[in-house]
Amino acid sequence: MTFPLLTAIVFMPLAGAVVCALLPRARAPFARGVAAAFSGTVLLMASGLLVLFEPNLSSHQFVESISWVPQFGIRYHLGVDGISAPMVFLSALLTFIAVLASWKVTERAQSYFAMLMLLAVGMNGVFAALDFVLFYVFWELVLVPMYFLIAWWGGPRRDYAALKFFLYTLAGSVFMLVGIIAMYLHPDGGTFDMAVLATNAGRGMGPQFQFWVFAAFFLGFAVKVPVFPLHTWLPDAHVEAPTAASVLLAGILLKMGTYGFLRVSLPMLPGAAHAWQWVLATLAVISIVYGAAVAFAQKDLKKLVAYSSVSHMGFVMLGIASLNPVGIDGAMAVNFSHGIVTGLLFLLVGMVYERAHTREITELSGLSAKVPVYAGLLAFASFASLGLPGLSGFVGEFLSLVGAWESAIWPGLVVLAGVGVLLAAAYMLWMLQRTVFGTPSAKVAGISDVTPFEVAYVVPLVALTLVVGVWWDSLLRFVDPAVRALLAAMGA
């Protein structure tokens, strides 16, 4: 009997959540050790999955399929291809790092680490599910622990931010559910099997039906990305969320939206994908420029990183809108890079806030003089975020722009997206100039540098940023065969 690797990756965090939740109050400090043990084991299994994964095969691997609700053809169906396997690994990595970054959490520690573990179940499940009902269950599961992480361990406006996050994303999910039901009830649909629907590529579904179902899925996925003008929940959620929740929100939850476009919207509704190409590209470019411009105006370091996420995710959407292999390869590269780089940035913001008790950029001058290791890490992450060649941020943005240029998208939009690259360089360098250099401010004067423990859990993100930036094929060899198979099925 083959070991059910994907089931273990998805549900082992659930066992961790149960153990954490059942710990008596006197044993609360053990919760972090339990969470680290379970998430570390999941990371080892996800690493093994990447090692055993055959990149040249475009089909799904590690497939598990068991009848679940036979009356409606619903199955417990898991599997990964070159698009989802790297995301499963990224989810496992960031969860483990989020647990380590929460080592000092003592307030209701059992519940806190149980929520992190429960969040991991939903995130891993979304990227592994190949049945629409299972996909939707995991998608919705993510909302609950993230809501409580913000509402119970967040900042002063946590109740408002948590409620806004929940209502926005729940509203998007309702539209996604409408799309799922519409496809199931269509005479040429009739199944919840995502692999079958992708293979059918909308055959028998008329242009008008595809257009409106694509619209329903668009609202579900675009809120999660988030695409302008559906982004307003994101800055509030990031600013109020604890550091670990911000890392997972930016690193994984936003990726669920772009993953939905690649797993559902494009392969299952290819006719509508072409009809919506201009809408996707236009909103992507608005997100790029708007997110970068607003990031420039921020005084709060965490808010700057949050708005930079809106801009970077615009590049993912632009790559998807290109509907060609170069652009979608680029979209996946930005997806992965944004997860590791923005995760690193949010970890660094949390470290400085813990020491200086402020995130105001004007109050953080002179970091290099007082905390040189921290300043070096902040500079490294900022250069990666602005897309410096040799670091991971460059790979995806370059390919996304090339793909968009080679597509049917108006070249003027691509040029405007290029302006977003310049704006990103400007606001990141402006931030670095005001925080890293100069005379140490009163808030910075007494703070200590990062500890060896903190360095240990950010090193993997630094290493991945360098590896992907220099050795592009380390990521693209997984992604490209699956992307080309997707486009071939679409007839693109």
Residue 65 has pLDDT above 70, yes or no: yes
pLDDT at residue 321 in the model = 95
| Mean residue pLDDT across the chain | 94
DSSP class per residue in 225-255: TTPTTS-THHHHHHHHS-HHHHHHIIIIIHH
On the 0-12 / 13-18 / 19+ scale of CB atoms within 10 A, 208 is exposed
Per-residue pLDDT of 181-225, as tens digits, reads 999 999 888 899 999 999 988 888 999 999 999 999 999 999 999
Q: Which residue has the tokens 């990183």?
A: 305
Which two structure tokens, joined as six digits, stand for 339?
Answer: 């997860």
Helix axes 233-240, 301-322, angle to 10 degrees: 140
Highest mean pLDDT among 122-131, 152-161, 356-365: 122-131
Work out the angle at residue 333's Cα, subtended by the Cα atoms of residues 51 and 345, and round it to the nearest 5 degrees.
Answer: 100
3-state secondary structure of 304: helix
Per-residue pLDDT of 214-267, as tens digits, reads 999 999 999 999 898 999 899 999 889 999 999 999 999 999 999 999 999 999
3-state secondary structure of 360: strand
CA distances from 161 to 158, 165, 462 (A): 5, 6, 30
Per-residue pLDDT of 467-482, as tens digits, reads 999 999 999 999 999 9
Residue 415 has pLDDT above 70, yes or no: yes
DSSP state of 387: T
* Predicted model pTM: 0.95
Residue 93 has pLDDT above 70, yes or no: yes
Percentage of the chain lying above the pLDDT 90 cut: 87
pLDDT at residue 249 in the model = 94
Per-residue pLDDT of 37-50, as tens digits, reads 999 999 999 999 99
Which two structure tokens, joined as six digits, stand for 17?
Answer: 């959540």
CA 151 to CA 162: how far, in whole Å?
5
CA 365 to CA 440: how far, in whole Å?
5
Per-residue pLDDT of 103-140, as tens digits, reads 999 889 999 999 999 999 999 999 999 999 999 999 99
CA 364 to CA 358: how far, in whole Å?
8
- Burial string for 429-458 (b: 16+ CB within 10 Å, else e) reads eebbebbbeeebbebbeebebbeeebeebb
Residue 1 has pLDDT above 80, yes or no: no
Residue 40: how many CA atoms within 13 Å on its side-chain side?
Answer: 8
3-state secondary structure of 133: helix
Residue 492 has pLDDT above 70, yes or no: no
Residue 491 has pLDDT above 80, yes or no: no
Confidence of residue 394 (pLDDT cuts 50, 70, 90): very high
Contact 134, 248 (CB under 8 A): no
CA 221 to CA 274: how far, in whole Å?
17
On the 0-12 / 13-18 / 19+ scale of CB atoms within 10 A, 484 is middle
pLDDT at residue 366 in the model = 92
pLDDT at residue 137 in the model = 97
pLDDT at residue 469 in the model = 94
